[in-house]
Chains A and B, each alone.
Chain A
């Protein structure tokens, strides 16, 4: 196993964090609850002023902020959006974020933003396409970069690689980190009928710098990755399984739909912090 990505870049586990969402712009900076770090969606701060910036500045005074994008379009056919990358780099520097992340997917076609995270075909062609784009982003932003394993509901045509191989080939060739979304692993494993633990074992775990946990909706025939509920027991169990192999890593509770009270989200972060403590013993 190669040296851990986090060690090479001096990245330490930050503990348990939650996302800065609009519902929490006023309450989060004032909370007296324990919180180790905060994730932001940079698209909400790159070109919006007013309340967004005030909330960002207030949180920056208290916590490490980690930008986690949804609009980089790292796998798409369009050239990288120069304005987006320029603003992202400026934001990462302004926040002094230790690293930043986005998803291994595409989100723009023909100049149109899809505002969703669409899966790539698991092919060598896609690997060859994505890797230089990741390198370009890292060179421009000049911070360690993580790619997240996205959820997907259908395998795209022409796939020649297993999903875990595809992830491995991209992050190893690009030499970036991996943001392991454990809920996505569970959702994908259920929807596509594979063993989630074997999938975790097949990943380049030495590159995992951050974990996402979230809730999902249980449909009639498919699980939907909504980030709209508490983390379910199966995902907590898979999280423990993962930490047994990675050791403690920065962990985020994602809650983006049907957002409850701030306390309810922080309760989930407390649970994650407890599991992290178990993992570090």
Chain B
């Protein structure tokens, strides 16, 4: 690449990576003597590029956004934008590092302590939804849903997110959250892990038969079967056909 073109890209990089405002535009303009450009036209590009980060975060993290004041949200978005998070051609992937960023910012900015876990939950919700894991058309034995993600978190986020009732904050308390993409609906399902759900997952992971589980646990064989059917219907596990 010739020096003139490199200088152009360098100057645009400096403008687009800097803070919004007139100063960056002035520097950009000054780095190209004789360039007659309307500042409000060039400002559009800065607005567009920064706007993509904001709109994507607001799409991916609606509960995190709702859990803080507008000013606190703006500070999070602006701070995160400065880290230049868009490192992948798929737009939504720029949200991948938001939860760790929120975790770093929470103490320093006096944000709600549940915010990092909530942001992580929302990112996982999207990551499961968009997972490249392909579901097999059929399985030979009980199989965990390959999109399954498990989160250990110190808040009851599943109930908090499901309620969507504007509760101020989630209840404190350890929770093991299970998130997976339903094989037919292709949307993310989630639940706080329960003993029956963990039992069915254990059966799938370890290849345990319903009879063996009934014998080992003292549960009625019909009850074990009913749990397998229930969680297969929800897509947490995949059952052989027939």
Q: Taking the nearest CB of chain A, how far is it from the CB of B56, in angstroms?
A: 8
Pick the contact of B86: A52, A84, A112, A118 (CB < 8 A): A112
Asked if A154 lies at the interface with its beta carbon under 8 angstroms from chain B, I say: yes
B186 touches A50 (CB 8 A): yes
Interface string of A107-127 (1 = CB under 8 A from B): 001111111101001010110
Q: Using Cβ atoms and an 8 Å threshold, which residues of chain A touch B1?
A: 77, 125, 129
In this complex, the interface size class of chain A, counting residues with CB under 8 Å from chain B, is: 35 or more
Residues A49 and B12 in contact, CB atoms below 8 Å apart = no
Please report which residues of chain A, range 216-236, place their CB below 8 angstroms from some CB of chain B when the two chains form the complex: 221-222, 224
Name the contact of A114 in the complex, choosing from B86, B186, B187 (C-beta under 8 A).
B86
Measured between beta carbons, the chain B residues less than 8 angstroms from A43 are 89-91
Interface residue tally for chain B (C-beta within 8 Å): 43
Q: A157 and B32 in contact (CB under 8 A), knowing A48-B130, A50-B130, A50-B131? A: yes
Q: What residue in chain B is nearest A87 (Cβ atoms)?
A: B89
Complex formed: what's the CA distance from A154 to B46 in Å? Answer: 12
Q: How far is the CA of A109 from the CA of B89 in the complex (A)?
A: 12
Asked if A153 and B16 sit within 8 Å, CB to CB, the answer is no
Q: Contacting A123 at CB < 8 Å: which of B5, B84, B91, B181?
A: B5
* Chain A contact residues, CB within 8 Å of chain B: 43-44, 46-52, 54, 71, 76-77, 81, 84, 106, 109-116, 118, 121, 123, 125-126, 128-129, 153-158, 191, 221-222, 224
Given A50-B186, A77-B9, A113-B94, 13 new contacts (CB under 8 A): A44-B90, A48-B130, A49-B131, A49-B134, A50-B129, A50-B181, A109-B9, A109-B12, A110-B17, A125-B5, A153-B42, A157-B35, A157-B37
Interface residues of B (CB under 8 A from A): 1-2, 4-6, 8-9, 12-13, 16-17, 32, 34-35, 37-38, 40-42, 44-45, 48-49, 52, 84, 86-94, 129-134, 181, 186-187
